[in-house]
Amino acid sequence: MAGLTALQGLREGKIQPGQKVLINGATGGVGTFAVQIAKSFGAEVTAVCSTRNVDLVRSIGADHVIEYTKEDFTRSEQRYDVIFDNVCNHSFAERRRVLNPKGICVLAGMGGAGVKGGEAIGRIASNIFTARARSSFTDQKFAQYRTKTSKQDLTTLGDLVETGKLRPVIEQTYKLSDAPEALRQLNGGHARGKLVITLN
């Protein structure tokens, strides 16, 4: 589902080769897939992450990295064709500032990287309402979508894995008996990639 969410979200942003794409929340399950898929489409990718994850996002193909503890990407002079936003921690106006005149900001699914459930629901709902209300008044677009299961998209993801363009990032593997600890790690909002529980 993380791979599908990333793939379908980038398509919603009408990503094209050579475009400048920013992934906000680049180190969660969806974010790590989004960085790699955007690169496979030929985009120039900027990843937003914490300091501890800089090496990780570079290792999966990010061309540029913004450490959110040191720099606010919405105050940069750089402009982007597509913003894929897993976190929704900036206002409509702030994100508009760094979008190109015909840029698209895609709001990813609930519970993005580093966001706890209840906080995510309220924040994303607010972002969607604002996007719908204002997108019709500007060439810059804010898009939202619902991830759908798709055999064709799963085949696309499989092809990317087989060609070495996509690899799942797995932070840690747990035994089934350690599932509560895995859930605590996940709910903390700072898991890198995915956590795996093995069944004997």
Per the CB < 8 A criterion, the answer to whether 44 and 20 are in contact is: yes
pTM of the complete model: 0.85
pLDDT tens profile 19-45: 999 999 999 999 999 999 999 999 999
Which of helix, strand or coil describes residue 110?
coil
pLDDT tens profile 68-106: 999 999 999 999 999 999 998 898 899 999 999 999 999
Per the CB < 8 A criterion, the answer to whether 108 and 33 are in contact is: no
Q: Is the dihedral of CA 41, 20, 54, 113 positive or negative?
A: negative
User: Residue 22 is inside which H or E element, if any?
Assistant: strand 20-24
